[in-house]
Structure 1
Amino acid sequence: MQIDIRPVEDSDSDALLHILEVVFAEYPGCVLNIEEVPELLQPAIAFAEMGGCLWVAQQQEQVVGCVGIVPTERAERMELKKLYTLPAVRGQGLGRRLIEQVEAEARRRYAHSLHLWTDTRFTTAHRVYERLGYTRLPETRELCDRSHSVEYHYEKRLC
């Protein structure tokens, strides 16, 4: 079945929260707390206010994935955000397509690199990033959230 990628709309909020709830439930200790992702209540407005973009992957009428990009404090670097897909659509190249969407936008904005933070528990995502040329950097960060998240830092040079 075909999966289309389109810009997010604020009306996609419930679908995005559902995706995060499903994904987080796959990992012991991960908890979706709406207070920790307020940008997903009005995602189109929130990402526009951050100077970024968020896209959703849609299969027929169902939103099955998402990915975003936001600028960083360094003009030459952008950050990949919110890459999530439902389990039923994994293994079909959707993660790659979503990452390519972000990389194209970063290049359009003349960024030299993309970076991202990903929970240490998301091992499948780590493999996808590494296959697509992202390098894990030495630093980690603790979020002090309800999930007690610790994140790895990844980066990819675009030039």
Structure 2
Amino acid sequence: MSEIEIRPFVASDVDGVFSVILPIQREEFGIEITADDQPDLSSISDFYQSGKGQFWVAVRNGQIVGTIGLKDIGNEQTALRKMFVAADLRGREHGLAARLLAELLAHAEAEGIKEIFLGTTDKFLSAHRFYEKNAFAEVSRGELPRSFPLMAVDSKFYRRSIIAA
């Protein structure tokens, strides 16, 4: 298997980001969502790459095969968004999701972020297990910061505290 590079998003990545995310949302999980329903993906540099936020892509052979975003929501808090890994690269044997998350957590710690929140759907059962295994604790919708960017499809929420080294 060829090497996978994880790096910050650049503007020329936008089509590749849509090409990995939309099929997962629509075909795998049957979520009726379009590119137009996700304006954050059309303006990644403004939406994610501002404040203490960032957006990373995983690239193999010039093709984007994974994404993860961190949105600065103020008050040393952030939202983890758009974590997607191509189906053929999921699972512990590939470790790609863990590598993407490790990149995000290292950035969060370096930036002095105190908490990371995320929302997901009831359908992403393997994602729930992944987040729980990685020290995210389920919280109620009412425990989210007011600045948390709620998505209509989100029904399950998590929080992870970051302890500075």
The TM-score normalised by the length of structure 2 is: 0.83
> How far has the Cα of 1:103 moved from its partner?
0.8
SS of 1:13's equivalent in the other structure is helix
Q: Distance in 1 between matches of 2:110 and 2:8?
A: 16
Give the 5 Å matches for 1:2-151: 2-24=3-25, 25-28=27-30, 30-49=31-50, 51-75=52-76, 77-91=77-91, 92-139=94-141, 143-144=151-152, 149-151=153-155
* One-letter code aligned to 2:158: Y
> How far has the Cα of 1:45 moved from its partner?
4.1
Root mean square deviation of aligned Cα:
2.0
> How far has the Cα of 1:117 moved from its partner?
0.9
> How far has the Cα of 1:120 moved from its partner?
1.7
Q: Residues 41 and 138 (structure 1 numbering): CA distance in 2 closer, same or farther, change over 3 Å? A: closer
Q: Distance in 2 between matches of 1:69 and 1:44?
A: 11
Q: Residues 45 and 10 (structure 1 numbering): CA distance in 2 closer, same or farther, change over 3 Å? A: farther
Q: Distance in 2 between matches of 1:49 and 1:157?
A: 21
Identity of paired residues, percent? 24
Q: Residues 112 and 51 (structure 1 numbering): CA distance in 2 closer, same or farther, change over 3 Å? A: closer
Q: Distance in 2 between matches of 1:41 and 1:67?
A: 15
* One-letter code aligned to 1:158: I
Q: Distance in 2 between matches of 1:111 and 1:50?
A: 11
Q: Residues 127 and 97 (structure 1 numbering): CA distance in 2 closer, same or farther, change over 3 Å? A: same
Q: Which runs of 5+ in 2 are unaligned?
A: 145-149
The TM-score normalised by the length of structure 1 is: 0.86
Q: Which runs of 5+ in 1 are unaligned?
A: none
Q: Distance in 1 between matches of 2:71 and 2:151?
A: 19
Structure ranking higher in strand proportion: 1
Q: Distance in 2 between matches of 1:103 and 1:48?
A: 15
Conserved in 2, the CA contact under 8 Å of 1:78 and 1:113?
yes
Q: How many residues align?
A: 153
In the alignment, what sits opposite 2:147? none
Q: Distance in 2 between matches of 1:56 and 1:99?
A: 11
